[in-house]
Structure 1
Amino acid sequence: MLFRVDPASPQPLGDQIAASVRRAIAEGKVAPGERLPPARSLADSLGVNLHTVLRGYQRLRDEGLIELRRGRGAVVMGGSGAGGRAALMLKVRELVDQARQLGLTEEEVVGLVRQGLA
């Protein structure tokens, strides 16, 4: 799995790491049950702080895409829905980015999503 970060990007490095994993899961390049690189190793290879990698991994855990266990590391969640969930999160990130560019408030975005669900 290839991780890339762009220090010149306005997107935080931890978010860039999470986006790399999210995209790999969505595209089926990472299978359920597969282990991600240890945070310390990934931080060293990318030249970033360990906590930056951990923030990215924690974001993915909060999204339900990976499981973090002491001694076992970061593992992609099992089940057939992981790829679909990752693809959906990519679209959510795009929606949020576009809403920010348009200057929409959080409440306006949530309202739009609620309208779409109705």
Structure 2
Amino acid sequence: MLVRIDPGSTVPLFEQVAASIRRALAAGSPARGEQLPPARELAASLEINVHTVLRAYALLRDEGLIDLRRRRGAVVLGGAPSRARLTELVADLVDEAKRAGVGLDELTGVIKEKYS
């Protein structure tokens, strides 16, 4: 599982880690019952504080995506919920809008129009 972060982003690092894991879960990897990397290991590979990873894991636990167990670590509970799927769809939409030359304001307008 590849977790990516952008240190220059305004999005907090723990949210970036959680979003990256959500995307991986939406893609089906890791599968139900599999373990996520230990927090210390993931933090070291991303060169961030272990508490940042633990906060991301706690967020995913609160969303019902993973279970945190002593000595067993973070275990995937099941597939990604609709929010993770929505995140994937929005990412695809944004990519398509960029390819079509649609700006953020115009895209936001279209979304607001369809949402009503």
Q: Do the structures match in fold with TM over 0.5?
A: yes
- Residue aligning to 1:109: none
Letter in 2 for 1:18: A
Instruction: Please tell me whether residue 19 in structure 1 is matched to residue 19 in structure 2.
Output: yes
Root-mean-square deviation over aligned CA pairs: 2.2
1:1-118 aligned within 5 A: 1-78=1-78, 82-83=79-80, 85=81, 88-90=82-84, 91=86
Q: Distance in 2 between matches of 1:72 and 1:30?
A: 15
What's the TM-score, normalizing by structure 2?
0.71
Bigger Rg, structure 1 or 2: 2
Q: What are the Cα deviations for residues 63-96 of structure 1, in whole angstroms up to 9, with x where unaligned?
A: 0000001110000004xxx23x1xx12327x6xx
Letter in 2 for 1:32: R
Between the two structures, name the one with larger relative contact order (CA 8 Å, sep ≥ 6).
Answer: 1
Q: Distance in 1 between matches of 2:27 and 2:52?
A: 24
The number of residue pairs the alignment matches comes to 92
Q: Distance in 2 between matches of 1:57 and 1:38?
A: 10
Q: What are the Cα deviations for residues 40-60 of structure 1, in whole angstroms up to 9, with x where unaligned?
A: 011111000010000100000
What is the percentage of aligned positions where both structures have the same residue? Answer: 58
Letter in 1 for 2:74: A
What's the TM-score, normalizing by structure 1?
0.70
Q: Distance in 2 between matches of 1:58 and 1:71?
A: 16
Structure 1 segments of 4+ aligned residues over 4 angstroms from their partners: none
